[in-house]
Every structure is written in structure tokens, then in C-alpha cells.
Amino acid sequence: MAELLIAAESIVTAAQPGPISAVLSPGYVLIEDGWITAVGEGEPPRTPDEHLDHGVLAPGFIDLQVNGYYGVEFDAVDEADWRMVAGRLPETGTTAFVPTFITAPLPQLADTLKAAAHLIEQLSPGSTTSHARILGVHVEGPFINPVRGGAHNREWMTDPTPEAVGALLDAAQGHLTIMTLAPERPGALAAIRQLAGRGVLVSVGHSDALAWQVAKAADAGARMVTHLFNGQRPLHHREPGVAGQALADHRLTSGLIADFRHVAGPVTAIAFAAAPGRIALVTDAAASAGMPPGQYMLGGQPIELPAGDGVPPVRPDGTLAGSALRMDVAVSNMVSVGVSLPTAVAAATRIPADLINRPDLGRIAPGARADLTWLGTGLRAEATWLAGQRVH
């Protein structure tokens, strides 16, 4: 039985309140065959195999919205490209992610989902893995509102008929994890019930819905809001809109792009204060993430990454088109505006894991996968483990 004992000056467990504290200083983690079997505070029971003498050990990050990275757009569905990106994402502390496809013509989207389903099965890890886990796919569109379309092609947006939804479900072959749609479109509430009945996490996004329409979506089974404040009717003191209902409705957890360009720093802090335990950090990264300034693709159309640290890519008309964000930077950014480190880490780990029903991920606790990241200076990922194997 392969065993690894890691001792650290500080461990943020991201575990739910209970017998394991949120922060252990110092602490240790015992790993056997890729699974965490013991977690403790104080001195480890024997000489550790690895001792992390600074920074903090945290669960590996889980990103529910990634359009691409390192020059690769995921909807091209190329095995070598997907493998390369999944192999490099641990450099950012990310150990699991959901490739995201934006609006496309329905037949094209179905073909892309079929190819992605095959590829996900090809890349599924065994007992060990050298690349970030692929947790199904996130389809963002085409059942969204042109009024809040953002970087999506408005000509390809359409209503979610039972036939259209069924075609995408069938094409994904059980790998459709998240679907973003606008609940005000005709047929959307029935579509939410259809998708939720098949185990898909339904997220409200690119929507001009009023607050009551978002509440009806939650009644039908929606449990998430896509990139809070972006691509949606904003909060108004007389009409809460999508953003207001997302913060007020305890059934809804919101994705948040914490690059301080999509949402200003003080507003991200307001979101965490208004919806404790219901914010999931996402990158919404495009192919330009991790790359130098230049031209890339999103949804089959060009985007430009300007010069400047953390500046997001844009369409030719200046519309924001995804981000160039790293998950470790997202966590660091939230800490910089006053969110506690355990809260920020949970938003990048346990909260997204729980949203997609993966209690084996996103926490440092017995019975969880040994997917870990060591955050050092500036909370940047210095090392990452997948199933107990150091991969970065």
C-alpha cells in the first residue's frame, strides 16, 4: 500500500464544520493509495515524507467554468490539446475542472459534445493520474438571452425545446455536468426540470430575467448562477434582477470571476458577505489564459488578449470574452479584499465540489481524494498533488 505523510506549517482543510478544524497550524495529512486516510493537528505520528515549511496546504482547486487555457480552445476537442492543458493546470493549483463550450449552432454543439464525451472517457484517471480531473462539460448557451449575450453569437441563440435539450443530453452521453440558460426564454422552466431530472446542474446565466423568474427557475431545480454580475440583469433597489435574487436566494450558488476586471474588488467582497457559503470562484478562462498578448479564439470567433497583468481578452468591439485568470490568483485576490483565507479556499474547492455532487473532492478530510495544492508566497501554487502523486 503506497503511503505518503505530508506535514505543513498550516493546512486549510475546507472541510465542513465538524471534528476537523478549518485551519490546522501545524498539521499533517496521511495518504494511502491516493486517498486521504488521516488528518491531524500538531506533530505527525512519524517523520513526514514531505514537510512544507511555509505557506499553506489546501485542497486542489475545482474550476467549473474553463473555456480554454494555454492557447487551446476546448470546443476544438483535440486529445493532445486537452491532455496538455489538463497536465499544466496543476501549475495554477487546479486539480479538477469542467471544460466549457459556449453558444454554437445546435448540430455543431451536439457533435462537439459527442467528441468530448469520448475524449473524457479516454482521459478518465485510474487509481493515479498525472493530469487534472475532467469533471464532465459545461454548456453555456445556446438557450440564453441576446439582450445579455456578451461575447456569444446572438444568431445561434434559441429556445430550449424538449427535443433540443434531449439531443444535447443524448450527445453528451452522461457527461453534461452544467448547463447555463436564461429562464425567461419560452420553454426554459420545462427544460430546467428535464435537465435536473437527468442530474445536470442548471445555472441561470446570460439572462435578463426579473427576480421572480429566477426564483421560478430555482423552484424548477436550478441551483447556480453563472458568473455573478456579468451577462445578467443587475441588482436594482426596486428590482433585484438576476444578481439580487442570486444573492438573496439560499437555493442558489453563484460563480464569480475574481479577476477584479469582471467584478470590482469591493463588489466581490459584498458578494461573499451577502451569500456566505454560496460563492464558487471560477476563472471563465479563455484560450489566451497563460499566454502572451495576441489573438486567440473563443466560440470559433477571434478574441484579443491585450498587454497587462490580469487583463481579460476582448472581442473586436471591446466586449469582455472570458478571462486570463488563474485559480490561485482568484483566491489571493479575495483574501486581498478582506475575505478570510479559509472562506476563499472553500469557494475554490469544497463549494464547487458539492455543487456537482463530488464529496470526494475539494476538502482535506479522511475519505477524500488526495488532490492537494501548496500555496506559497503570494498564495501562488508552489506544488500540487493528484491522488497523492506530486505533479507540479
Please give the span between the terminal C-alpha atoms of the chain, in angstroms, as a whole number: 23
Q: Cα separation of 358 and 98, whole Å?
A: 13
Q: Sheet with 56-59: list strands edge to edge.
A: 23-24, 11-12, 56-59, 372-375, 381-386, 389-390
Q: Residue 65 CB: number of other CB atoms within 10 A?
A: 27
CB 351 within 8 A of CB 279: yes
Indicate if 78 belongs to the active site: no
Burial class (CB in 10 A: 0-12, 13-18, 19+), 270: middle
The dihedral of CA 124, 152, 202, 169: what is its sign?
negative
Residues 160/161/164/165 CA torsion (nearest 10 deg)? 60
The percent of the chain in helix, strand and coil, each rounded to the nearest 5, is 30, 25, 45
For 134, half-sphere exposure in the C-beta direction (CA atoms, 13 angstrom radius) is 31
**Catalytic position from the list 259, 284, 354, 371:** 284
**Torsion angles phi and psi, residue 363, rounded to 5:** -155, 155
Closest CA to 160 of 145, 138, 175: 145
DSSP character at residue 334 = H
CB 25 within 8 A of CB 316: no
Which one-letter amino acid corresponds to residue 151? A
Annotated catalytic residues are 284
